[in-house]
Structure 1
């Protein structure tokens, strides 16, 4: 059947008649315009609150926090969650005792007697969230089994969200607040217009210092008073005057002190006392950092006078924190960061306690970055191929803005890689790089990391080499393999995925292995990539159809025998990445070239009348699918250019028909991409793929692949022109 995604007069073809450069820029401009660069969001996070566990649910164990709760007493936890638009989200709940959930003041869930006594079981359900803030109140009743629950996302990789403290008094810190035990139920459930004061209750964790703590000094109250330990504080000076010849500051300190402005030492003293500084400051912002050593029971500093046209503020906006200084420590004097490295937000500072990061000047409160965008700054496999397409397009069309966008996105991830590993250990689940920091499958690493290494050739991205080494170690030594070395899935996000091999995983592994070989010159990675194709052929190839089965299920010891379009596309796409770098004298090259040509014959035979391939390749009444089409175009075009096909002419025609089909059918005149199959499960029935696995608009599984198809079409056009001229 033919898919009518939009009227033909609204197609990109109607605008540009298939011109590759114009079409690619239409898609690229739309994508970046809808997904602009945004930094991570920094929030105060109280370590006395409830942490998320590895499944990104909050461990709301009230017994552990409060202790000695009388049976029958009530405890409430309260938080909010933001939604850009009304949507349905999945949640999971495990109960330690009777639990009720209120959403925006309405009761939406009540545990049953079975859930109350099996805390290791999880109930999965969906809730409709409104646009804007959604307030959640959890009501727990203490019984002999416990008090509290595990609650949070039902989609770890799709929606690893974090909750926000709900009241104005706390200013959007991360996490939950909770009550002390109450003898009676609350008459009114808190909601979006409720303040802490309105409830008449004391909410934990506490956020204010006692008078005694205030007087102890900023370092003492946040870090303790172990003699000889070192700490840093960091803030920003903002000068509003256009001309400022000299600024004067005075203050008091306890413990030794060294004050730096823009990296230069301006004052130091080994003894507690008053200080005074006079320095010239130009218009704009300046880093001010204070290094101190604990020498007495009071430890800290305070500025007592400031020029009126100079403003002091935290180096970054920290939601839920109104203080001016970030604090880091403590350090042994022999391993203290110096002024050249301390004023940064993407670094875990090494110390003899497993590392540390910036804190707020509040009880038990760290500053933490969180990813709160849908695309920019995230690490996942569809975005890996999206960015690959954008970067290749930026290079080919000399769109430096595209290339810089991609480099900045990737470096935002890699520069926080080490931090995210530390954050996961410290807080249970990282606020950024959630898939990278908790790799448990090839999906989490290979696709994005392959693009990362491609980008690394343009710029030595901060943290990229360390990230690549970590991923190579995972694929080589952690990811499950069969006895013959084939990569496969022992575990899965759902039970039915266990003990399976997916043809998709060739893309999630082999392009990275090829690029890591190029980075390190270690031939074993290239050999592994080559071997994987032959092993996957052994399990998944259907020679009578010259197509690949989507999955081999070892629970049944058989192929599913469904030729899913995108799964097959990943195979051919990835094989071109391997063949491009595989030496001519490699022992497996001839066998891989023969396999490639057989697959190409099988795929060529399945191209539809409109130039596109179908969701199930050999079921032409399934919908015309854009991402698979794009990958076959990409692979065929490369094969012609590199001379991998004995009879290239049919494939040239196929590429041109396919690209015109995409421009007519899949890309509208705003640059929206249609007909991309959503993320898949698998089935032995082709009807699952045909009727249930539908397509999404502007799905990142397809945007970059369409761009890659266009770039290879453009390269092929130039190649044919050059060949014709030379002939």
Structure 2
């Protein structure tokens, strides 16, 4: 082997190390991050969207992002938006007491309660939570022949309800909300978590039973939806943030978070974003912002809280944030968001949803803290 060839091979072996070092050392301009977040929220506020009600889950997820944006920046433009929203909605969740989706709007109400004491009427929230946890409904016992086998029968529910119950337990100093949350969370975990892949099936349709009837990708892999798992790990970060350090079941959530974080890191695409089908990136070979935004938020949160190795994960989230910003148009709109759904589907530069903007804001809220 010639000297030149040996030198080339040596340089090629070094390139990944050099790349990681450069990415790790790269500083993110906090002013640029905040400016992108402001533009995203301003555009979204001018283009309101919700499926059924201004208190539905799409708005709920969006305003979690707005709340976290304010918490990170202390910029009054964010607090003004979330306070106005809550006031107009009279601090009420939507109507479906049995449906976890209709709980998440209360996360922002409870945030406003922290920053502006006396402004929020907590009574509608408490009434809704008590009904959700204890009032009879067929979902509670399971509906034969349907997806509704348990109360939280779809993985998205683990973002929609548990963070609110964790916060409410904290502010009321009532552990019963946390204990009931844990009971219901375990039901979903046991039903939908794949302990080999360390990912969640979206619902029972996608459970792998090892037979010909299993839903699978063309490459033969199991179907794991990016946003679905984004809901879960994003929810885990929110739960752990407010869960007492001495809570007896905290290690369960911490270990689950670490397992999922390792897997999510492994399946990140080279461009920094994640594909809508995590184990079959070729199915829709483009990045998708809602899942990627939740992953960026959750992984950066883990770095900022000393749970994930900073040197190992900083390149992951830096690359992800830079890629997310490329999905934002000059007017502030955040594109490449898969539409409302329950399985992997394509997106485009012009596809947007308010929950996608919420995921973008969540990501930025933690990225801002990364180099502090």
Say whether 1:702 aligns with 2:356. Answer: yes
Q: Count residues with an aligned counterpart.
A: 331
Distance of aligned partners of 1:533 and 1:651 in 2 relative to their CA distance in 1, 3 Å threshold: farther
Say whether 1:509 aligns with 2:166. Answer: no
Whole-Å Cα distance in 1 between the matches of residues 80 and 47 of structure 2? 16
Say whether 1:379 aligns with 2:40. Answer: no
Whole-Å Cα distance in 2 between the matches of residues 532 and 717 of structure 1? 37
246, 251, 260: which one aligns with 1:585: 246
- Partner SS for 2:191: helix
- Partner SS for 1:506: helix
- Listed one character per residue, the Cα deviations across residues 129-165 of structure 1 (whole Å, up to 9, x for unaligned) are xxxxxxxxxxxxxxxxxxxxxxxxxxxx8358xxxxx
Whole-Å Cα distance in 2 between the matches of residues 499 and 555 of structure 1? 13
67, 73, 76: which one aligns with 1:400: 76
Shift of 1:398: 3.5
Partner of 1:635: 298
Q: Which has the higher strand share?
A: 1
25, 39, 42: which one aligns with 2:38: 25
158, 162, 166: which one aligns with 2:51: 158
Distance of aligned partners of 1:389 and 1:159 in 2 relative to their CA distance in 1, 3 Å threshold: closer
Partner of 1:473: 130
Preserved CA contact (<8 Å) 1:534 1:592? no
Preserved CA contact (<8 Å) 2:299 2:313? yes
Preserved CA contact (<8 Å) 1:677 1:696? no
Whole-Å Cα distance in 1 between the matches of residues 168 and 238 of structure 2? 12
Say whether 1:526 aligns with 2:202. Answer: no
Map 1:184-583 → 2, pairs under 5 A: 378-414=54-90, 417=92, 436-444=94-102, 446-460=103-117, 464-478=121-135, 490=143, 497-499=147-149, 501-553=153-205, 561-583=222-244
Whole-Å Cα distance in 1 between the matches of residues 174 and 304 of structure 2? 28
Distance of aligned partners of 1:489 and 1:659 in 2 relative to their CA distance in 1, 3 Å threshold: farther
Preserved CA contact (<8 Å) 1:447 1:509? yes
- Listed one character per residue, the Cα deviations across residues 682-708 of structure 1 (whole Å, up to 9, x for unaligned) are 5xxxxxx246x8886330121111011
Partner of 1:653: 315
Whole-Å Cα distance in 2 between the matches of residues 545 and 634 of structure 1? 21
Whole-Å Cα distance in 1 between the matches of residues 179 and 42 of structure 2? 39
Whole-Å Cα distance in 2 between the matches of residues 381 and 525 of structure 1? 21
Preserved CA contact (<8 Å) 1:678 1:701? no
TM-score scaled to structure 1, two decimals?
Answer: 0.42
Shift of 1:456: 1.4
Partner of 1:717: 371
- Listed one character per residue, the Cα deviations across residues 172-220 of structure 1 (whole Å, up to 9, x for unaligned) are xxxxxxxxxxxxxxxxxxxxxxxxxxxxxxxxxxxxxxxxxxxxxxxxx
Distance of aligned partners of 1:613 and 1:454 in 2 relative to their CA distance in 1, 3 Å threshold: same
Shift of 1:488: 8.3
Shift of 1:462: 5.5
Q: Which has the higher helix share?
A: 2
Preserved CA contact (<8 Å) 1:513 1:529? yes
Preserved CA contact (<8 Å) 1:564 1:616? yes
TM-score scaled to structure 2, two decimals?
Answer: 0.79
Distance of aligned partners of 1:488 and 1:505 in 2 relative to their CA distance in 1, 3 Å threshold: farther
Preserved CA contact (<8 Å) 1:24 1:710? yes
Whole-Å Cα distance in 2 between the matches of residues 554 and 481 of structure 1? 22
Whole-Å Cα distance in 2 between the matches of residues 469 and 615 of structure 1? 36
Whole-Å Cα distance in 2 between the matches of residues 700 and 452 of structure 1? 18
Distance of aligned partners of 1:696 and 1:538 in 2 relative to their CA distance in 1, 3 Å threshold: farther
- Partner SS for 2:176: helix
Whole-Å Cα distance in 2 between the matches of residues 477 and 717 of structure 1? 44
- Listed one character per residue, the Cα deviations across residues 496-541 of structure 1 (whole Å, up to 9, x for unaligned) are 6544721100111101101110221110112233344443322212
RMSD over aligned Cα atoms: 3.2
- Listed one character per residue, the Cα deviations across residues 59-112 of structure 1 (whole Å, up to 9, x for unaligned) are xxxxxxxxxxxxxxxxxxxxxxxxxxxxxxxxxxxxxxxxxxxxxxxxxxxxxx
Whole-Å Cα distance in 1 between the matches of residues 307 and 293 of structure 2? 19
- Partner SS for 2:333: coil
Distance of aligned partners of 1:455 and 1:410 in 2 relative to their CA distance in 1, 3 Å threshold: same
Preserved CA contact (<8 Å) 2:98 2:137? no
Whole-Å Cα distance in 2 between the matches of residues 515 and 600 of structure 1? 23
